[in-house]
């Protein structure tokens, strides 16, 4: 033990001049839901301070919140000492409801730190089982299974879906949570990794980290919000999500330190010795039961909107002059698959010239599940109008399993049609034709005598006048021919002719397309033929108008395309008969 004094001096120097971590306050509930009279706990954790003052009571009507315990913990990480204070409150509800617990103020020296707010849901004791907690933008997800955190695991993950049954194309909010014991330090990755077959995943949004008690043990929770959208029916397995982390796990003292600490009763300061580990924390796989949208009661103008929506409409300006446009603004708000929905349909718009609407979307949450989408239609009156067209928007409500038709009546407006304006030659300054005036005969006679009878010809019979008029006439004929050509090219029939020629050419090229690209090229031809490129879900609806053989062949094509998309390399190449059957079915869609 000849080195004991030196080791002791080093240890005292480290303890005597600790480097405290950044000051931080977090709060967590032992359970986000309970019943009347059944207490839960609030744990307030203050890091980076030696002492702090907290309130003895927290006033929230309907809740009795009382401080009943406190503790202090010192840990050492990389030769820096971290001081953590823990305050425990007992929360006893006296009535049912959803309660907002405000941030708890912690006084540290001359500063005041505030924790995050908390939300507690209280049910009647007779209403067991308790409703599970909610996540932003979603419905009630379950708490992490107790077995996951009850066995003293240093870290674990959990995937929480807002529902276990969904429809094809529906957006299902989810939260991916990763739990780490509070005595573990380290760093975690920016985003988890979650991929699989038969569904798509929205971008991840960070949730502020929090402290939570799971079966009596304190954990730091890193959570990420996202949304999952199934692309096919049947039971889909959402695989494990993984998050990379580099952790400082408590370890044992190196050789030579055991005897030193044995002289002081064997006490090793918590966190003084740690081991760095690179780990991939995983959640457990979870099943999602997916069903197709019902065919019964499906409106013809349904374009794929799934969720809970409301619509509002407005017009501006309310009064315009002849031939001037008005803007009809339609706002679809609520929760659902905003990316996949089609535009509302205008009703009673025969006397208006309308153009495809512009679209803008404003999200009200981090995962684009809640928000509002604005469509602006530019309208020009064909005849004088006193009201706008009506609006119709069809959606599917997954909570009831029914289609919902949202409609808005016409709005008052004063719009005048464009009027033909008479030329100056056709009307005088007061709008009336000018009276004819006679040319005095003596003046004509004098002119003839001055010029000579043989040289007098009206200017309308002069060669230069006739040549100029012939040139103008040819120019008008050329312009008329060009205008007719342009009109034919831009008309609906002209556009359809070009589209059919393009589709015929693509079908011919499809015969020589490699197997790996056949499904993708065929699906693109199908969407172009059905004009459903902007609404992929609309293709399945449009196929109902065809005969059974055609619809079956093309539905198999869509299913194969999804299989190739979500499971690359798993699909077997199509034989020549299957390719020919698909090509024949595609040709029937070209109209």
Q: Is residue 367 part of a domain?
A: yes
For residues 105 and 146, membership in a common domain is answered with no
For residues 338 and 357, membership in a common domain is answered with yes
Tell the residue number behind the tokens 């989408």, with chain if given. Answer: 373
Least confident of 146-150, 505-509, 576-580: 146-150
**What pLDDT score does 148 carry?**
45
Indicate the SS3 state at residue 581: helix
Q: Is residue 464 part of a domain?
A: no
**What pLDDT score does 255 carry?**
58
More confident residue, 276 or 350: 350
**What pLDDT score does 353 carry?**
92
**What pLDDT score does 131 carry?**
38
Domain boundary residue, one of 415, 434, 456: 415
Which tokens is 484 given? 């007719």
For residues 285 and 317, membership in a common domain is answered with no
CB 95 within 8 A of CB 38: no
For residues 96 and 234, membership in a common domain is answered with no
Rounded-to-integer distance, Cα 100 and Cα 123, Å: 15
Peptide bond into 511 cis (omega under 30): no
Tell the residue number behind the tokens 């002289």, with chain if given. Answer: 263
Question: Does the pLDDT value for residue 302 go beyond 90?
Answer: yes
**What pLDDT score does 129 carry?**
41
What's the whole-number mean pLDDT along residues 499-517? Answer: 83
Q: Is residue 404 part of a domain?
A: yes
Domain of residue 550, residue span: 493-588
Confidence of residue 531 (pLDDT cuts 50, 70, 90): confident
- Domains held by the chain: number: 4
Question: Does the pLDDT value for residue 450 go beyond 70?
Answer: no
For residues 9 and 33, membership in a common domain is answered with yes
**What pLDDT score does 15 carry?**
45
What's the whole-number mean pLDDT along residues 250-268? Answer: 55
**What pLDDT score does 570 carry?**
52
CB 157 within 8 A of CB 177: yes
Q: How does pLDDT run across 70-88, given as a tens digit for each residue?
A: 777 655 455 455 677 888 8
**What pLDDT score does 389 carry?**
96
Q: Is residue 473 part of a domain?
A: no
The DSSP element (H or E) to which 334 belongs, if any, is: strand 326-336
Which tokens is 381 given? 């009156």
**What pLDDT score does 379 carry?**
95
**What pLDDT score does 212 carry?**
79
* Alpha carbon 579 to its chain's center: 36
Which tokens is 226 given? 């996202």
Question: Does the pLDDT value for residue 377 go beyond 70?
Answer: yes
Question: Does the pLDDT value for residue 431 go beyond 60?
Answer: no
Q: Is residue 145 part of a domain?
A: yes
Q: How does pLDDT run across 208-249, given as a tens digit for each residue?
A: 777 777 877 888 888 899 999 999 999 999 999 999 998 877
Domain boundary residue, one of 415, 430, 452: 415
Q: Is 38 exposed, middle or buried (0-12, 13-18, 19+ CB in 10 A)?
A: middle
pLDDT more than 90, % of the chain: 34
For residues 7 and 53, membership in a common domain is answered with yes
The CATH number of residue 337's host domain is 2.60.40
More confident residue, 403 or 68: 403
The CATH number of residue 237's host domain is 2.60.40.10
- Across 6-10, 47-51, 395-399, 563-567, which has the greatest mean pLDDT? 395-399
For residues 59 and 148, membership in a common domain is answered with no
What's the whole-number mean pLDDT along residues 424-439? Answer: 50
For residues 221 and 340, membership in a common domain is answered with no
Peptide bond into 317 cis (omega under 30): yes
Domain boundary residue, one of 379, 394, 415: 415
Indicate the SS3 state at residue 380: strand
CB 155 within 8 A of CB 182: no
Tell the residue number behind the tokens 């939260």, with chain if given. Answer: 175
Looking from the CA of 501 toward its CB, the CA atoms found within 13 Å total 5
Q: How does pLDDT run across 453-473, given as a tens digit for each residue?
A: 444 556 666 777 778 888 888
**What pLDDT score does 366 carry?**
85
What's the whole-number mean pLDDT along residues 520-524? Answer: 85
Q: Are strands 155-161 and 412-415 parallel, antiparallel or unpaired?
A: unpaired
**What pLDDT score does 529 carry?**
83
Q: Count other Cβ atoms within 10 Å, centred on residue 301.
A: 14
**What pLDDT score does 127 carry?**
47
**What pLDDT score does 382 carry?**
92
Q: Is residue 95 part of a domain?
A: yes
Task: Give me the residues paired with residue 278 across strands.
Answer: 246
- Across 270-279, 378-387, 468-477, which has the greatest mean pLDDT? 378-387
For residues 84 and 207, membership in a common domain is answered with no
Q: Is residue 68 part of a domain?
A: yes
Q: Is residue 428 part of a domain?
A: no
**What pLDDT score does 149 carry?**
44
Tell the residue number behind the tokens 């674990």, with chain if given. Answer: 156
Question: Does the pLDDT value for residue 327 go beyond 70?
Answer: yes
Angle (nearest 5°) at CA 578 between 574 and 582:
115
**What pLDDT score does 587 carry?**
84
**What pLDDT score does 371 carry?**
93
**What pLDDT score does 519 carry?**
83
Tell the residue number behind the tokens 């409106």, with chain if given. Answer: 299
Least confident of 128-137, 293-302, 360-369: 128-137
Question: Does the pLDDT value for residue 133 go beyond 80?
Answer: no
Confidence of residue 28 (pLDDT cuts 50, 70, 90): confident
What's the whole-number mean pLDDT along residues 41-60? Answer: 86
Confidence of residue 165 (pLDDT cuts 50, 70, 90): very high
What's the whole-number mean pLDDT along residues 118-130? Answer: 69
For residues 406 and 369, membership in a common domain is answered with yes
Question: Does the pLDDT value for residue 348 go beyond 90?
Answer: yes
What's the whole-number mean pLDDT along residues 121-145? Answer: 48
**What pLDDT score does 14 carry?**
46
What's the whole-number mean pLDDT along residues 154-176? Answer: 92
For residues 34 and 10, membership in a common domain is answered with yes
- Across 75-84, 371-380, 508-517, which has the greatest mean pLDDT? 371-380
What mean pLDDT is reported for the chain? 79
**What pLDDT score does 549 carry?**
84
What's the whole-number mean pLDDT along residues 529-535? Answer: 77
Least confident of 12-21, 26-35, 133-142, 321-330: 133-142
Rounded-to-integer distance, Cα 37 and Cα 29, Å: 16
Rounded-to-integer distance, Cα 123 and Cα 478, Å: 82
For residues 285 and 308, membership in a common domain is answered with no
More confident residue, 550 or 213: 550
Question: Does the pLDDT value for residue 252 go beyond 80?
Answer: no
């Amino acid at each position: 033990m000849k080195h004991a004094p030196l080791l002791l001096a080093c240890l005292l120097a480290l303890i005597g001049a600790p480097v405290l971590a950044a000051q931080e306050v977090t709060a967590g509930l032992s359970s986000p839901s309970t019943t009347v009279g059944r207490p839960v706990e609030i744990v307030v954790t203050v890091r980076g301070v030696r002492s702090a003052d907290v309130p003895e009571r927290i006033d929230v009507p309907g809740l009795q919140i009382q401080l009943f315990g406190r503790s202090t913990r010192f840990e050492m990480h990389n030769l820096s000492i971290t001081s953590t204070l823990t305050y425990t409150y007992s929360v006893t509800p006296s009535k049912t409801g959803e309660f907002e617990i405000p941030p708890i103020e912690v006084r540290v020296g001359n500063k005041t730190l505030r924790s995050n707010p908390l939300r507690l849901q209280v049910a009647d004791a007779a209403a067991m089982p308790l409703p599970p907690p909610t996540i932003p933008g979603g419905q009630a997800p379950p708490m992490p299974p107790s077995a996951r955190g009850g066995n003293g695991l240093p870290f674990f993950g959990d995937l929480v879906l807002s529902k276990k049954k969904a429809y094809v194309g529906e957006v299902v909010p989810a939260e991916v949570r990763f739990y780490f014991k509070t005595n573990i330090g380290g760093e975690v990755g920016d985003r988890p990794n979650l991929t699989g077959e038969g569904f798509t995943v929205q971008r991840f949004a960070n949730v502020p980290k929090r402290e939570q008690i799971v079966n009596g043990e304190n954990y730091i929770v890193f959570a990420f919000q996202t949304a999952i959208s199934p692309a096919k029916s049947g039971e889909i397995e959402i695989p494990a999500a993984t998050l990379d982390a580099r952790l400082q796990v408590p370890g044992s003292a190196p050789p030579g330190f055991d005897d030193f600490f044995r002289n002081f009763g064997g006490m090793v300061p918590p966190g003084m010795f740690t081991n760095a580990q690179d780990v991939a924390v995983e959640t457990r796989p979870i099943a999602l039961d997916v069903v197709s949208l019902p065919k019964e009661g499906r409106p013809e103008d349904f374009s794929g909107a799934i969720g809970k929506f409301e619509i509002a409409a407005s017009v501006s300006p309310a009064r315009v002059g002849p031939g001037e446009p008005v803007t009809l603004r339609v706002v679809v708000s609520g929760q659902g698959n905003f990316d996949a929905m089609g535009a509302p349909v205008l009703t009673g718009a025969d006397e208006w010239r309308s153009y495809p609407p512009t679209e803008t979307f404003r999200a009200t949450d981090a995962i684009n599940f809640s928000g509002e989408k604005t469509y602006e239609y530019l309208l020009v009156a064909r005849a004088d109008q006193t009201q706008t067209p009506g609006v119709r928007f069809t959606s599917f409500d997954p909570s009831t399993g029914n289609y919902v038709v949202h409609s808005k009546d016409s709005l008052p407006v004063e719009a005048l049609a464009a009027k033909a304006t008479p030329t100056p030659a056709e009307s005088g300054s007061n709008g009336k034709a000018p009276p004819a005036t006679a040319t005095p005969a003596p003046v004509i006679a004098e002119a003839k005598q001055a010029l000579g009878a043989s040289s007098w010809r009206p200017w309308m019979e002069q060669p230069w006048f006739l040549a100029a008029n012939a040139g103008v006439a040819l120019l008008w004929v050329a312009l008329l021919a060009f205008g007719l050509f342009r009109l034919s090219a831009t008309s609906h029939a002209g556009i359809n002719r070009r589209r059919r020629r393009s589709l015929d050419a693509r079908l011919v090229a499809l015969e020589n397309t490699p197997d790996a690209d056949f499904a993708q090229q065929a699906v693109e031809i199908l969407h172009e033929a059905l004009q459903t490129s902007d609404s992929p879900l609309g293709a399945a609806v449009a196929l109902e108008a065809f005969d059974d053989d055609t619809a079956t062949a093309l539905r198999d094509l869509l299913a194969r395309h999804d299989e190739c998309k979500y499971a690359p390399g798993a699909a077997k190449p199509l034989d020549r008969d299957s390719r020919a059957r698909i090509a024949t079915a595609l040709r029937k869609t070209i109209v």
